[in-house]
């Protein structure tokens, strides 16, 4: 029951992202956006996600109005003592953050996977697409210190 409530809470209130950087990359207005994302179930960890944001001029000249590239980069770091809530274990992990990258078919996701053997949290940024999967991804890890590991199940 407790896991179900935590899952429902994650769906109802996903991690929010705060824009902390915006870098122009060309004259048509394309930008690289950098967002800070605090893991809602792991206090003491923040991830910075960078991705490409297409301008209106680029959309007009290239066509494909409704889609941004899948490219992204992620780096996560410890910001203080780590306190882990009720997180999903196992190789599939769980979504921490998701943002639409097209009208309906593509999203940019950040997934947390707990590597129990090595006491490491893995954060994976990847595109999720309905019809064509993408091999574009980025990964970051945060090692847990003494006393921060989850108890064995």
pLDDT at 122 over 90: yes
Higher pLDDT: 140 or 153? It is 140
CA distance 26 to 32: 10
Q: What is the per-residue pLDDT for 126?
A: 85
Query: Taking the model in full, what pTM does it have?
Result: 0.76
* 82-111 pLDDT, tens digit each: 998 889 988 999 999 877 655 556 678 899
> Taking the domains of the chain in order of start, what are their residue ranges?
2-143
Total residue count of the chain as it appears in this document: 153
* 7-42 pLDDT, tens digit each: 333 343 456 789 999 998 888 878 888 999 999 999
Write down the residue that tokens 């889609």 correspond to.
67
Could you count the other beta carbons within 10 Å of the beta carbon of residue 89? 12
Ramachandran quadrant class, 93 (left: phi over 0; alpha: psi -120 to 50; beta: rest): left
């Amino acid at each position: 029951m407790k896991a179900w409530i935590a899952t429902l809470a994650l769906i109802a209130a996903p991690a929010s992202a705060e824009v902390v950087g915006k870098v122009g990359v060309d004259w048509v207005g394309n930008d690289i956006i950098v967002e800070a994302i605090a893991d809602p179930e792991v206090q003491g960890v923040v991830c910075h996600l960078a991705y490409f944001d297409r301008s209106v001029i680029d959309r007009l000249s290239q066509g494909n109005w409704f889609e941004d590239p899948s490219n992204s980069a992620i780096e996560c770091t410890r910001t203080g003592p780590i306190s882990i809530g009720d997180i999903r274990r196992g190789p599939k992990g769980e979504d921490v953050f998701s943002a639409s990258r097209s009208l309906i078919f593509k999203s940019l996701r950040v997934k947390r996977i707990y590597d129990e053997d090595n006491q490491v949290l893995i954060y994976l940024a990847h595109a999720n697409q309905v019809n064509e999967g993408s091999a574009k991804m980025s990964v970051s890890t945060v090692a847990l210190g003494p006393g921060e590991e989850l108890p064995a199940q």
